[in-house]
Amino acid sequence: MFGNKAQMQNMLKKAKKMQEELQKKQEELKKQTVDVSVGGGAVSLTMNGEKQITALKIAKDAIDPEDPEMLEDLITTAVNEAGKKADEMVQKSMSQVTGGLGLPGGMF
């Protein structure tokens, strides 16, 4: 499969380096965030690269006891949008390390 022992060792060395760089990126992504605002600012949230919500703000006028479904929809939309942005941030960051190898999400 590999030409010789030296080529195989070189490939293993590169794989180890890439793994170390991926781990470093994962640590950095814990600190990076995306911000989303929906409903004209009625709901705003911040999410980190691990898809954890680190801040959530709800405007007073978005809280209508007669229409809780509206607020539920706004929060759901904000979380989903932030999740997409976080995925894009992670993918972009990881592709810098993998050189665009297109590894599946579980691979990093």
Is residue 31 situated within a structural domain? yes
Is residue 60 situated within a structural domain? yes
Mean pLDDT of the chain: 87
- Whole-angstrom Cα distance, residue 47 to residue 36? 8
Is residue 33 situated within a structural domain? yes
- Whole-angstrom Cα distance, residue 12 to residue 78? 42
Encode pLDDT of 85-99 as tens digits: 999 998 888 887 777
Encode pLDDT of 49-97 as tens digits: 999 999 999 999 999 999 999 999 999 999 999 999 999 998 888 887 7
CATH assignment of the domain containing 50: 3.30.1310.10
- Whole-angstrom Cα distance, residue 58 to residue 39? 10
Containing structural domain, residue 75 = 27-96
Is residue 78 situated within a structural domain? yes
In the structure, what pLDDT confidence band is assigned to residue 101 with cuts at 50, 70 and 90? Answer: low
Is residue 54 situated within a structural domain? yes
Q: What total of structural domains would you count in the chain?
A: 1
